[in-house]
Structure formats: structure tokens, C-alpha cells
Chain A
Amino acid sequence: MSTNYQLIENRELQESLYYYRFFPGLDLYVLPRPGYQKKYAVFSTCFGSIDNRFRVEPEQKITELPDGVAHFLEHKLFEDERGNVFDRFAALGASPNAFTAFTQTAYLFSCTANFEENLEHLLNFVQEPFFTEQTVQKEQGIIAQEIKMYEDHPHWQVFFNLLAGLYLEHPVRNDIAGTVDSIAQITPELLYRCYNTFYHPSNMALFVVGDLNPERVGHQVGTNMAGRNYQAMGEIVRIFPDEPEAVTRERTVKELIVSEPILFVGFKDNRPPGLAGRELMRREILMELLLDIIFGSSEQLYNDLYRKNLVDENFGAEYTAENTYGYTMVGGETGDPDQLYERIMEAVKSIKSEGISKEQFERHRRKILGGYIRRFNSLEFIANNFLAYRFKNADLFELPAILHEVSREEAMQLIDENLDSSKHTVSLVVPPEES
């Protein structure tokens, strides 16, 4: 039985990607990388911390989740009836891991031997949940320590305060791990309910990369899936609250032990919910160009700020666009948050009158293209990012093509929509006043 792959060639990167969809919907991607010692596989579900209200067609009943369930489930899948999933990977010499983000949960391993056995183990443990009262309880203690670790993490705190400042209703405002109180509400039944919905193959994808034979991988995955008797499932309807256009509040300040204040300015982008995958990606690329032109290390503003000792080399800006939300964040550690804030807001205003030169745009375009090519040394980068884009119906391999298409005029048009001073918030972490 051979897998009827679709072959996707990328000329710029000189890569060939093999793609096949198994019944009832699992997407498999295989990227051969001859000469690499390491083989890497990531098995992901499009279920992240923001998916906290849903129903499955044709049912009408809506399930609502306490914060932190996707992350909790990730932890719990690592335990099966025979004990710990790590043990088997360890016996096979693999290095396993997992992570939960806003929009996905990923399970992965890398290895240099026993690839087929490791892949089999990954497929099996993710598809065979085992949750009991007792194991759920023990995990609550471990995750409580994880939450506490992040409470002491100034950059994490400033980030989530920024999101809460931008969003009043959208669940992206909540910490991925939830709170000690919210995870106390989690039960085995709730985990099974989520599992049976979001871990259905039609909501999942597998990316495998390394010195591999696509035929063998396809055969193995097909055989594993065939034994599980999956049935087609109705569409998952994710329900998001109505989010106001405006931000929640102007400013959030938190005291934490830090050497100097951390300031971030966030701008809300209300456009993404209406955009298709490729448009979303195009918007991301344009924003990356625009932000690099305004705030990047090769431009006047950054160099002024750095010379005046107002920022360090970690100062920067980034834009994120997902299917249901989007935002820009700019900032870093600073001795004078008020002055830095003024300079950021001025810069956003003045780019509109000053415009972008052709030389600037081409130079930043080259930089982004080069950075993208360099990252293709990393198997992890390719696999993780490919699936993240895939879940928003975009294609990582299209980046060079889109980068060549976009224009200065388009970038300029985004300033009004995306860096609108009437939709901004400030998040600040400051050292505590001496008590």
C-alpha cells in the first residue's frame, strides 16, 4: 500500500514536502532532510488556551471550560495506564516534549535512532488518553508550581497584562496555564470531553522531518490510523465572545522585583477575524516590515534611544495575527518609561508623514528573507512553524513569494488600522517602592 502523496516543491529553499490527508482528516507532512542525524516529529491539535467555549455539530449544547484545560490536558497525556510516557521514549533514546499555546497543543520528540518505534509511541500515547481522579489531583500540585514560576517572571507578567489591557472578553487575555483556582475545577470527565472533541484526527496534523523515506512514514501512519476505527465527526464550532473595538484600559502597572521598569505598548488590530489564511500571513509580513522600519536596530529611532540609554538591545516590536485576534507590541526594559512611551507614540505618528523610502523597504525585505532562510537550518523551526501556519490556513513555504509581492504602499496603509493611538494600551512592570 503506497501513500498517494501530493508533492509540494519550494524552489527558493530547494525543499520537497510530501503531503497526504488520511481518513477522517489527519494531515501528514513529511520533509526529507538528507544528511541530518536528527529526526523530529510533532503531532499537534488545533486546540489551545483560547478554545474555551465550543460545541460539535449537530449538537447544540455548548461546553464551557475553566482556564487552563488545554495545558492541563497536555500534561496529563504524558501518563498512560502503564505509567509514564517518558519512560518508553527514554528506552528508545528519544527526547520528548510538549507545549501549549493560545491556538494549539503540540507533542513532539527528536531522536537519532529508533525513529519508527518512537513515531509509533508518539502516535499511540497521544491517541490513548488515560485520566483518573488521582492523577488529575497530583498534576494540580505540579502545575501550581509552574504558575508560581511564571508569577515571578517579569516579562511573562508584562505580556499578559498587556493582553488583558487590550482585550476585555477574548480569552487570549488569560494565562495559558490558568490559575490555581481554575485548574482546581478540572475533572477527568472534562478532560475526556475536550479530548474526544479536539483530539479527533480531523483537528490534528503531524509533521515529520529528517533523513527519512516518505513512503515508509506514510505506510506506518496509515497502518496506525487504520486500526483505530475513527468515524467522521461533525464540525467543531468555537464560540468567541463579542470583543469591543476599544481596549480594556489605558494602563496596567504591576510591582515586581526587577532591575528597571519594563514597558510595553500594545495596539489592538480588530481586522483578523475577517481574513483568510494567506491574507493573514500577508498582513503579518507587512507588519513585520513596517515595525522593523519604524523600530528596528538599523533605523534612527532605535539608535537614538540606545545612545540615550533609554533601551537595551532587547528593545523591539512584533505583530501577531491569529484567526480571531491580532495585536502589535512594542517595548522593553527602560530606565524612563514615560519618555520611552512618548518616543514610541511620536514614532508611530511621524512615520505617516515621513513615509518609507524605497531603499528602506528593499533593505528590510532582504533582511526578512535572509532570516527566514537561515532558520531553515533548524528542523524544529520548520516543523513547529509549519503547523502553526497550517492551523490558520496559511503555508509557511509561501513566505518568500508573499515577501516579493508586498509593496510600500500596502505597508503604509496598515498604519491607520494597526497602529491607531485610539486603540492602544500600556503595560508596565516597576520595581516595588522601598517599604
Chain B
Amino acid sequence: MLQAEYTEHHLSKGVRLIFIPTVKFKTISMALFLHQELREDLAALNALLPAVLEQGSRRYPDKLTLQRELENLYGADLFADILKSGERHIPAFTLESPHDKYLGGKHGLLSDDMSVLGSVIADPLVEEEGFKKEYVEQEKNQLIKDINALLNDKGAFACERCVALMCGSEKFGTYKLGRVEDYNTISPVDLYRYYREVISANPVDIYVIGDLEERQVLQEAGETFNFFRNGSPKTLPSTEIEQPVKEVKRVEEEMQVSQAKLILGFRTYTAYSDRQYCALLVYNGILGAFPHSKLFMKVREEAGLAYYVYSRLERHKGLMVVAAGINYDDRHRAQEIIEQQLADMRERRISDEELENTKKALVSRLLSQQDSPIQLISSHLNGTIGGKIYTTEELIAGIEAVDREELAAVADKITLDTVYILRPREGDS
């Protein structure tokens, strides 16, 4: 059996529970995702929501109390975050603890874990019709710091800049944490009102994984996540991938750094639910996802121009980003070699080894996801976001069936949109 079996239940309208029973892991893992659309005017609210909820609930009114409770649950790890995936923006909560059977004796951790998670999400600390003011202000400051801190990782910074330039007029151009100025106007009452709105109307997915009884999981989850729901759940728009490229944007920016970053942003015009999705995975694999890929072999191993060079998909938005850390003086040569690899892909210059090795690597990566609770969750979540749930078997069969015709068809659609270079200031490199 390849695919982890799961069962799906509706706790109330738009609140879904997915239970994956397995004896394989040492843990009890659970997650809750609150689906929302990605929009510039909502971004700061969405980012602030998990950050504030995580500060404390009615039952655990501050972080200290909450953290101590988690420590007593054998170091259960609660993590609240905001995900950007395609044009979805998703407040996300995960909680993982060891499974009782490794602690000697019965501890009832499923019930305790779920009760803490439920308390944080469904029973927040409220004062004067709003979230606690102190927490809202504190988390605004933290998120503004996080926005500014993107600068600290030059590789990630350069990729974000490229995507922002590329999708400036689209919803996808919205940064995951929004803009600094958006935080000024949010009051604790606004945020609480927004919370009430999304928790009662937007789709919610809850996942539970572990060596557990389905009946007990269902019962606990039903009692814990009994949000008030407003009729049928809101329908969220799907990600727009058809933006045409009129002219390639070329932007260089300067910073006090040693190494230049070269980023090429492409549009693939292939969506997650498309028939050609598997061909796109294989295309990206041959081009730059692995150490045997063309980019690594040509730019690094043959030309010795870079330590890292890769291509990566944003699979819901249908973007492909190629990134390399290089000497600024090598930028033309590096870009030429990169573009030559894309040209080779279009002209079907793909060896049997490249094709077969990439398929094997992709299949291996898919199978390996079965060994991690969080990856099991993400792969199902991706299906929900992308509007098509693939089983592992379907994806493997799809990948194995990809031929050069389909790769050429995918390659023909791939269009360069933006070239971004972060360059050292004169004298810094």
C-alpha cells in the first residue's frame, strides 16, 4: 500500500476533519488550516491572526501559562503561522506531542493536545469586544520586524523581490506578511471582528494523524471545534495563472553584499489541476530541482560559476523561479548558460538518463512524503488548494507516463517574465 489511508468527516458546514490512522510514528500530530483568499487589504489581518491567538486564550491567558501547559504535555509543540500558497492565504496551527505509548502508561494526550489547540483557536482571550490590546500591539511590532528581517537572508530576499516585481499587479504579488503600513490601522476590535467573520464562514480543514481510535478522534474533535458557523461556507476564488508577459522586466538593485544573486522568474501557464501538471514536475526536475539536473551540471559542475543554482515551482500560481549565487562579473555568462538549458528543453535535447533519473527522483520524493506526518498533511492540503486531490499512485503513474512530446508542450508555454539581479556595491565583492 502506497497511499496512506484517510477518512474524511464534516464536523459542521465547511469544517472538515481528515483522520489518518497509522502506527508508524512516535507522535500524535494535528493541524488546523483556516482558508482565506490572498488579498493585499487582508494580508496584515491574516498574518496577525495566528500570531495573536498564539499569545494566549481564555483558559491560558498568557504565553507563559500556555507554554507551561505544553511542557507538561511532554513538550507538545504548538506552532502558529501564516501560509501563502497560490492565491490562498492560510492561518495555520500545528500541534505535535509524543504518543502515549512511548511514555509508559496512559496519559490521554490526544484529549489534552486537542483541548489546548481548541482553546487557542476557538476560545480566545477577549476584552472589550476585541482581542487583548497588549497582544495585538506586541504582535504588530513583531510582524513588522519580521517583514524587515527578510533582508537578512539575501537569497530569499532576492527571490521575493523578483516575485514582487513579476506579480506587482496581481493578488499573488502580496507579500505573505503584508505591508508595514497596513498594520497601523488595525485595532484589536477590528481584528476580533475579522476573526469572528472568517472562523464562522471560511472553510476550515483539521487533520489528525497517529495510532488513534477513529471514534475517539471524531468525538474529541466534534466537542472541541464546535465553532458557530454561518450557513454554507464561503467559496474562495481559484488562483489566476493566465497573466500575459508583454515585455521582459529587467531590474538590478544594489546592496552591501559579497555575492550577487541572479533570479529569473518564469510563467509556466500550467496549473496544479491541469492535465500537464505531472509534465511540469518532470520539466522542472530535469531543468533544476536535483543535483543531476541541467542547471547544477552546467552552471556549477562544468562552468564552476556557482555553489548553488536551482529551479523551483510555485505550483499553484504556475511560476518557476531560477536562482543562483554568483560573482557579479559572471552574470552574463551564467544567464546565457541558464537560458541555453531552457532552449535545450524546448528543442527536446533531453537524454534518456535525464528523463528517467528525474522520474525516479520525483517518485522517490513522493513516496518519502509518507514518512512524515507534516508532509502527509501538506500533500493533502495542496490538493485542496489546487482543486484536485491526487493520490500518490495517480501522481506516480502520471509522472511515469510523461514523454518528450508533453515536455516540449510544457516547455513551449514557459515564458520569461522578470530578470532580477541583486549586486554588490562597487568595492564590496
Point out residues on A near B: beta carbons under 8 Å: 12-14, 35-38, 84, 86-87, 89-96, 110-113, 138-139, 141-143, 145-146, 148-149, 151-155, 256-260, 296-300, 303, 306-307, 309, 312-313, 333, 335, 363-364, 366-371, 373-374, 376-379, 432
Contact = CB atoms under 8 A, between A and B. Distances in A.
Interface stretch (B67-75, B191-199, B271-279): B67-75
Q: Please classify how large the interface on chain B is, using the bins under 10, 10 to 19, 20 to 34, 35 or more.
A: 35 or more
B259 A151 contact: yes
Nearest to A314: B149
Contacts of B361: 90, 93, 95
Contact of B357 (A93, A149, A333): A93
Nearest to A145: B307
B127 interface: no
Interface of B: 2, 22-27, 62-64, 67-68, 70-77, 96-99, 101-104, 134, 138, 141-142, 145-146, 148-155, 255-259, 290-292, 296-297, 300-301, 304-308, 325-327, 353, 356-357, 360-361, 363-365, 367-368, 370-373, 429
Contacts of A149: 155, 258-259, 307-308, 325
A335 B148 CA distance: 12
Interface centre among A84, A113, A377 (most CB of B within 10 A): A377
Contacts of B258: 148-149, 151-152
Contact of A363 (B26, B68, B371, B429): B68
B67 A298 contact: yes
Contacts of A335: 145
A307 B165 CA distance: 35
Nearest to B306: A145
Contact of A84 (B76, B152, B301, B367): B301
Interface centre among A95, A139, A303, A370 (most CB of B within 10 A): A370
Interface centre among B101, B257, B304, B372 (most CB of A within 10 A): B304
B363 A377 contact: no
Interface centre among A113, A145, A367 (most CB of B within 10 A): A145
A306 B63 contact: yes
A153 B152 CA distance: 7
Contacts of A379: 371
Given A91-B353, A303-B62, A312-B145, A152 B102 contact: no
Given A37-B370, A152-B259, A368-B75, A374 B27 contact: yes
A348 to B, nearest CB: 20
Contacts of B259: 145, 148-149, 151-152
A111 B364 contact: yes
Interface centre among A12, A37, A364, A369 (most CB of B within 10 A): A37
A37 B368 contact: yes
A299 B66 CA distance: 11
B371 A142 contact: no
Nearest to B360: A93
B368 A110 contact: yes
Contacts of A91: 353, 356-357, 360
A85 to B, nearest CB: 9
A144 to B, nearest CB: 8
A13 B138 contact: no
Given A84-B301, A111-B364, A370-B97, 11 more contacts: A14-B101, A90-B292, A90-B360, A153-B154, A155-B152, A257-B152, A309-B141, A363-B72, A364-B71, A366-B75, A369-B74
The 9 A-B pairs at the shortest CB distance, nearest first, are namely A93-B360, A370-B74, A370-B75, A90-B292, A367-B75, A298-B67, A259-B148, A373-B98, A146-B307
Given A35-B23, A145-B325, A151-B258, A374 B75 contact: yes
Given A86-B291, A90-B361, A370-B97, A309 B151 contact: no
Contact of A113 (B146, B300, B364): B364
